[in-house]
Amino acid sequence: MTTETTATRDTQVFDLIAQEQHRQESGIELIASENFVSPAVMEAAGSVLTNKYAEGLPGKRYYGGCEVVDHVEQIAIDRAKELFGATWVNVQPHSGANANTAVFVACLHPGDTILGFDLSHGGHLTHGSSVNISGKYFRPTFYGVERETGVINYDVVEETAKRERPKMLICGASAYSRDWDYARLRAIADEVGALLLADVSHPAGLIAKGLLNDPLAHAHIVTTTTHKTLRGTRGGMIMMRNDFENPFGIKTMKGETRLMSSLLDSGVFPGTQGGPLEHIIAAKAVAFGEALTDDFYDYAVRVKSNAQAMAKAFTDRGYSIISGGTDNHLMLIDLRSKGLTGKLAENTLIKADITINKNMVPFDDKSPMVTSGMRVGTAAMTTRGLNESDMEQVVVYIDKVLMNHDDAATLATVKEEINEWMKAFPLFKS
């Protein structure tokens, strides 16, 4: 094994990593799906566990030498169960998309109908988009929000479900600022004989601390990423509060009915993945340990109150928020009332070191490459320590940049002020 010295260090890559750290430290990060993990989470993710093959599950592996990683993975599972009140968890999905694909492979046959939240209204690619496996291998149908309110009308979801007869009803979003009525969705799923999948990738951290409705009380299956509000390493997982016999008659080779937990485990491996990333699972375990603390509860409360403060600051300055506000950590802003596009906002704000993403708004008249909206969230900047009055200041900067988008001098001044301001919020506290 080579030991790294200054002379042998891969400066090409490590210089870039240093540049990226500088970018993260000096700017304002408002991408709603991003967050900053702790040094402990990074240390686990960069550990020797990356060397280990461990196909299978703790205690049931296809490789030897898994005693240690078995413990690690079991801790991740146990902590996730405690966090979400689950009785069964699989922590192996490499990402949120992989978690969803594993669920589809476990529960559905090619061609089955799925009913998800429209991508152009804030839904996710993996819930039936024609460019994703979920839309290529299954028959995707969609529900959306009401044009007038920007909110989901569950009566319309019910009508759509009765018409389309999906095998799986999917809820969850990447750009929806309102909480979900999981009880109502379960009633709809039961009415048409569908499984209810709740993908809580975005609000998982708030759900874990009881600050939003509990999806596990109603959904048959819950998937999530681990890196958004949950503030762990990049990854995914699948959970259930109650195991049950699969309703679609999938049998074992002996002709016995299989439990959903067993189907889901095999949907992950060997269904859609090979060896699990045990270093990432260790990092998940560390992050879940952090999320179990009272400090994380305080964090989650501040994520929400910061989002409230930000929504109010935008509204006070005449910006229009889809659905009129937020229940969680994010909001979608319709820039048409300001005569701007999402593309212009994204490209201009980055010049002042403010990172957001352009986003379609419901019933958007512009293309996905241009869009009429921008999505912002408070998870990352709350980790850095910004409070409610800081959120107002962030909105002041955003407004100044957008109102002066073709004035290079103003953009440069705001960038300098932000770089200076961010020094007060170090990424790593020493």
Ligand X SMILES: *Cc1c(COP(=O)(O)O)cnc(C)c1O
Task: Select which of 25, 34, 43, 53 is catalytic.
Answer: 53
Known catalytic residue: 294?
A: no
Known catalytic residue: 284?
A: no
DSSP state of 223: E
User: What is the distance between the terminal CA atoms of the chain, rounded to a whole angstrom?
Assistant: 32
Is the CB of 123 or the CB of 166 nearer to ligand X? 123
Is the CB of 31 or the CB of 250 nearer to ligand X? 31
Known catalytic residue: 87?
A: no
Task: Select which of 55, 112, 158, 417 is catalytic.
Answer: 55
Is the separation of the CB atoms in 279 and 47 below 8 Å?
Answer: yes
Binding mask 145-174 for ligand X (x = CB under 6 A): ---------------------------xxx
Is the CB of 171 or the CB of 344 nearer to ligand X? 171
Work out whether 33 is an interface residue with ligand X (CB under 6 A).
yes
Work out whether 328 is an interface residue with ligand X (CB under 6 A).
no
The answer to whether 123 is a known ligand-binding residue is yes
* Residue 302, SS3 per DSSP: helix
Work out whether 362 is an interface residue with ligand X (CB under 6 A).
no
Task: Select which of 29, 199, 214, 334 is catalytic.
Answer: 199
Task: Select which of 81, 139, 184, 234 is catalytic.
Answer: 234
Pairing of strands 357-359, 113-117: unpaired
Known catalytic residue: 251?
A: no
Cβ atoms within 10 A of the Cβ of 229, count? 35
Of 259, 418, 392, 216, the C-alpha closest to 313 is: 392
Shortest separation between residue 215's beta carbon and ligand X, angstroms: 12
Beta strands in 291-368 (DSSP E): 320-321, 330-334, 354-355, 357-359
Work out whether 202 is an interface residue with ligand X (CB under 6 A).
yes
Of 203, 182, 210, the C-alpha closest to 83 is: 210
Sheet of strand 139-143: strand arrangement: 88-90, 236-240, 221-225, 195-199, 168-171, 113-117, 139-143
Q: Which of 92, 101, 126, 328 binds ligand X (CB under 6 A)?
A: 126
Helices 278-291, 294-316: axis angle to 10 degrees equals: 80
**Positions that interact with ligand X (CB under 6 A):** 33, 95-97, 124, 126, 172-174, 199, 201-202, 225, 236
Residue numbers in the known binding site are: 119, 123-125
Residues with a catalytic annotation lie at 53, 55, 199, 225, 228, 234
